[in-house]
Chains A and B, each alone.
Chain A
Amino acid sequence: MNSLIIAQMAVSGALMGLVYALIAYGFQLTFATSKSINFGQGELVMLSAFFSLTLLNLGAPYWLMIPGGLLFGVVMGLVVERACVRLTLEQKSEGWILLTIIFGLLGFSAAENIWGRDDRPFPSPISSDALHILGINVTPVEISVAIGVFAVMGVIELFKRKTLLGKAFEAVSADRDAAELMGISATHTIMLSYGLSGMVAAMAGILISPITTVGPTMASALILKAFSVAVVAGLDSGFGVVVIGILIGVLESLTSYYLGSGWRETPGLLLLILALAIRPNGVFGKVSIRKV
């Protein structure tokens, strides 16, 4: 009996972990090209979810809502790049940390006032009646989350590996100056990465909303764990985030079962600080070479 409960907790934790992994993947996309990340990514997840919900409420069909929501994410990602990141990268400063935090705050306040502070349900055409698989309850909605996460990450990875544009993306990550000499515009590539990152955030919002409901604070806990996943896995390692995401998802679900739900954030946060202490570049990260 007990082992069955643990297995149940582990499975649902792992599914949540995939969402953390997806958001963390969004950090990696922008970090690869520009060594910067959007600290307001959580607000991007939340705003995209609200936007998608509004589309549904306006009568848009489900199949139209998804591209609409993703497009919104892309646009927001581009706005963040233009308003908060580009200038500070030109100045070679780390001002983008502060500016993206500020942008997140603005987004949060806007959502609070436009859509209200209450949590709202997010309708989904997929059933949330549990299926019993080997004695474990899994809902189709949860399965759709897993499929969605892998689909988005798969498509982007395919793009990076199989198209010339994707290879250019990798080239900018490897050596920005040399990429410029090939005629690849680093500025455009960074814009592309922020657009993709915004899209990934929107996807995460759309996937998670049917499970968690939509509200201004829906992403504040999510994003902390996505940060943990990104740092523990390393900001430059492709699928490391999936492994670490699942690990942290399982750990937190077990923690909240044994210690109470108030403690569920702790394993991720502790792992993050621990990872920084032991492997500052992440478990799957590369060690960088200092130059003089």
Chain B
Amino acid sequence: MLKRLIFLRGAEVIAFVLLGLIPLWVSNSYALGLLTLLAIYGILLIGLDVTVGYLGQVNLAQAAFLGLGAYAAGVCVTLFGFGIFSALAVSMLIGLTLGALLAFPALRLEGPQFALATLSFSALSTTVLNEWEGLTGGAQGLSLNRPAFFGHAVDAPGFYWLCLILLAVVWMAMRNLLSSQWGRAFEALRDSPIATDAMGVGTYRHKVAGFAFGSSLGGLAGGLYAFNFQYLQPQSFTYDLMVILLLGVVLGGRKSLWGAFFGASLIVLLPNLLSNRLLFEIVAALGLLLALVVGLRSWLSKHQLQFQAVAPIIAMGMLVIGGFMVENTENWRKAIFALMLFSVVVGLPDGIMGFVARYLTQLFRIAPPALPQASTLDSVLPAKASDGAILLELQNLKRYFGGVKAVDDVSMQVHSGAVHGLIGPNGSGKSTAVNVISGLYAPTEGKVLLHGKLLPSGSLFKVARAGVSRTFQNLQLFGELSALDNVMLALKDAYRVPLPLVLLGLAKSEEICAQSDALALLQLVGLEKQARVHAKDLTYGSQRFLEIARALARKPELLILDEPAAGLAHPDVSVLVAIIKSIKQRGTTIILIEHHMDVVSELCDTVTVVDGGKIIAAGTPEEVKRDLKVIKAYLGVADEAPLQA
């Protein structure tokens, strides 16, 4: 515990103290200017990393938020005479508001459309800054003076310290955020957005909040940028800057505060790199050497030329050869950025920090903090008395895909406290039916009622919030999260501390409570020993059980288990049966889709059999097994009179 604290926090403290002491020794104003920029870009890149790293989206608007924040501060100071902190607050607010406004539409889609929307936003903001001359001075630019700090003029070292303190605050806030439910949600929604929604953690709202938070840091950095240069022009915040910022984040290493810091240092140093010919040639040669070494290693281990290994060598080779051929490297700076960025993205996708971190963790094995005592299961999942009333009712449910009637007029009732089996041959419509119930698909026609009230349709998130939880036939675990975090993410009503307090690090106690509760659920499925193991490293059977524990963390009224025994070995099947039995004892209603008839007979109170999208039989397992129609559906047509083609 102490070792962990010293290593992880110690490095941060030393770095910040060293950075803070520099102005006392060095009075070179140029160096101080670079350090100030380092702090500003550090804040900016931490903000950008939220979208690019944690949300996994290509965000091309951060340069625009820098510009908007800068202009907001500039206008506040020149037109309204704001003080330094109120101006910075306005910058941040502008980033937050515009970020949220952009995120609402843009984050409904993934990938290219999102990148396009942010690109358009950047272009739009440049246009506005250029054309709204009354406010921004247009292409002429906007000059401003750095406002005084409680009557004292802020000199260069003072401003540097301000930037550094703000960077430290942002750093801490970000770390608190990432070690809370928010950090888990960010990780989860990249792994499986569907499961994130199905666990009642809104994918969309977390993405919007994350983006708005990142944008507000962009705005804050913009305000500092304005006070640093004291002169603003719309051209400073265009596409070119955006590419450089992306270079910083990717080269430094995504999903890492230190990565953002390294990236910022790189951005600050780049112009010097290009103006000094010798330095450039050294760096280019080193880059080529690194690419060659990495390439050679991959060739030796795999015995084939891989694109990841070859492409960076070619790109760095172009950089070296080009360095000899061209007269002025400054003119080619975009091409140089491009080649460097290309090599990094292809050959070193985790960036410098990812590379370094891999070796550091091998050198220093730091044990994770100890886990708290598990709560009692009764407190997490209190036993309910079941009254046998109708819990779920499907009324004439239909779901068509093109001409295929996957679910065709299904009506059924599930009674509270029961285990209700849903069986039928492959493709008979069972899975589609539960996908409609759980909100993945909206029904083509018909109703789904829970407690006699209409369930929301077509939204996994809303259905999950209404008390229905599920597992998936094809596992949808959050592979990058530990088993414990998988369960903690889904815990219902465990996180009540509002975001501002989370940022201040005041969510620790509720985090520990959540850990205890999650451990209790892991105990239920026999995984408490593997709590810290990444879900993707668990055995297949354990992954199945973990999904059940995760679904239970929603404390659901209705639990849907979609083929939980699929692919399980025999011993695991008996464990599964025991788990389901103990869940049933606690009064949770279960819909069980299953193929193993022995499992169904042992667990189910009622069974509904579907075939071809229609219900063909219903009753107790014994009744259903004797039903002729069921026998026929399961065994095919051969039982009929011999058929002639």
Binding site for B on A (CB under 8 A): 31, 35-37, 39, 83, 86-87, 94-95, 97-99, 101-103, 105-106, 108-110, 112-113, 220, 224, 227-228, 230-231, 235, 260, 262-263, 265-266, 268-270, 272-274, 276-277, 280-281, 289-290, 292
Contacts and interface: CB of A to CB of B under 8 A. Distances in A.
Contact of A280 (B56, B113, B336): B113
A106 B334 contact: yes
Given A37-B112, A97-B112, A263-B127, A290 B334 contact: no
Interface residues of B, number: 55
Contacts of A292: 194, 435, 440, 472-474, 476
B624 to A, nearest CB: 27
Contacts of B60: 101
B123 A269 contact: yes
A112 B240 CA distance: 14
B246 A98 contact: yes
A277 B113 CA distance: 12
Interface stretch (B207-215, B341-349, B629-637): B341-349
Contacts of A270: 124
A106 B127 CA distance: 25
Given A99-B345, A102-B243, 9 more contacts: A83-B342, A99-B346, A109-B335, A227-B116, A227-B120, A260-B131, A262-B131, A266-B127, A280-B113
A272 B117 contact: yes
Contacts of B102: 273
Contacts of B10: none
B346 A87 contact: yes
Interface string B108-122: 111111011101110
Contacts of A106: 334-335, 338-339, 342
Residue in B106, B110, B116, B311 with the greatest tally of chain A CB atoms within 10 Å: B116
A277 B104 contact: yes
Interface string B323-334: 000100001111
Contacts of B115: 39, 97
Nearest to B334: A109
Contact of B345 (A98, A105, A109, A110): A98
B124 A269 contact: yes
A290 B461 CA distance: 14
A262 B346 contact: no
Contacts of A108: 334
Given A108-B334, A227-B116, A101 B243 contact: yes
A105 B333 CA distance: 10
B112 A36 contact: yes
B308 interface: yes
Contacts of A36: 112
Contact of A231 (B110, B116, B334, B435): B116
Given A87-B308, A102-B342, A227 B119 contact: yes
Contacts of B341: 98, 102, 105
B105 A277 contact: yes
26 contacts: A31-B112, A97-B115, A99-B345, A99-B346, A101-B243, A101-B246, A102-B338, A105-B335, A106-B338, A112-B331, A113-B332, A235-B112, A263-B127, A269-B123, A272-B120, A273-B121, A274-B105, A276-B105, A276-B108, A277-B108, A280-B105, A280-B108, A281-B109, A290-B194, A292-B472, A292-B474
A272 B116 CA distance: 9
Contact of A109 (B105, B110, B113, B332): B332
A36 B111 CA distance: 9
B240 to A, nearest CB: 8
A262 B136 CA distance: 14
Nearest to B340: A102
A270 B127 CA distance: 12
A109 B131 contact: no
B326 to A, nearest CB: 7
A227 B239 CA distance: 15
Contact of A265 (B116, B123, B308): B123
A290 B106 CA distance: 19
A102 B239 CA distance: 12
Looking at B104, B119, B243, B326, the one whose CB has the most chain A CB atoms below 10 A away is B119
B125 to A, nearest CB: 10
B444 to A, nearest CB: 12
Contacts, number: 136
A283 to B, nearest CB: 14
Contacts of B476: 292
B56 to A, nearest CB: 8
B111 A94 contact: yes
Nearest to A27: B112
B401 A224 contact: no
- B interface, over-half SS: helix
Interface string B355-389: 00000000000000000000000000000000000
Closest CB pairs A-B (n = 9):
A277-B105, A109-B335, A109-B334, A106-B338, A105-B338, A262-B131, A269-B120, A276-B105, A97-B58
A224 B119 contact: yes
Nearest to B239: A220
A99 B342 contact: yes
B337 interface: yes
B134 to A, nearest CB: 13
Contacts of B337: 105
Contact of A290 (B121, B123, B440): B440
Nearest to A224: B123
A98 B120 contact: no
A281 B105 CA distance: 12
B299 interface: no
Contacts of A290: 194, 440-441
B229 interface: no
Contacts of B472: 292
A273 B105 contact: yes
Nearest to A223: B119
A220 B102 CA distance: 22
A272 B124 CA distance: 11
Nearest to B435: A292
Interface string B169-196: 0000000000000000000000000100
Contacts of B235: none
B307 interface: yes
A259 B163 CA distance: 40
A95 B349 contact: yes
Nearest to B346: A87
B395 interface: no
B78 interface: no
Which of B56, B106, B124, B331 has the most chain A CB within a 10 Å cutoff?
Answer: B124
A210 to B, nearest CB: 25
A276 B117 contact: yes
B250 interface: yes
A277 B121 CA distance: 13
Interface in B79-127: 102, 104-106, 108-113, 115-117, 119-121, 123-124, 127
Nearest to B341: A102
B111 A110 contact: no
Nearest to A31: B112
A113 B329 CA distance: 11
Contacts of B334: 105-106, 108-109, 112
B601 interface: no
A97 B56 CA distance: 12
Contacts of A277: 104-105, 108
Contacts of A227: 116, 119-120
A265 B127 contact: yes
Interface in B453-477: 472-474, 476
A240 B564 CA distance: 45
Interface in B280-337: 307-308, 311, 326, 331-337
Nearest to A260: B131
B117 A97 contact: no
Contacts of B332: 109, 113
B337 to A, nearest CB: 7
Given A87-B307, A292-B194, A273 B345 contact: no
A265 B124 contact: yes
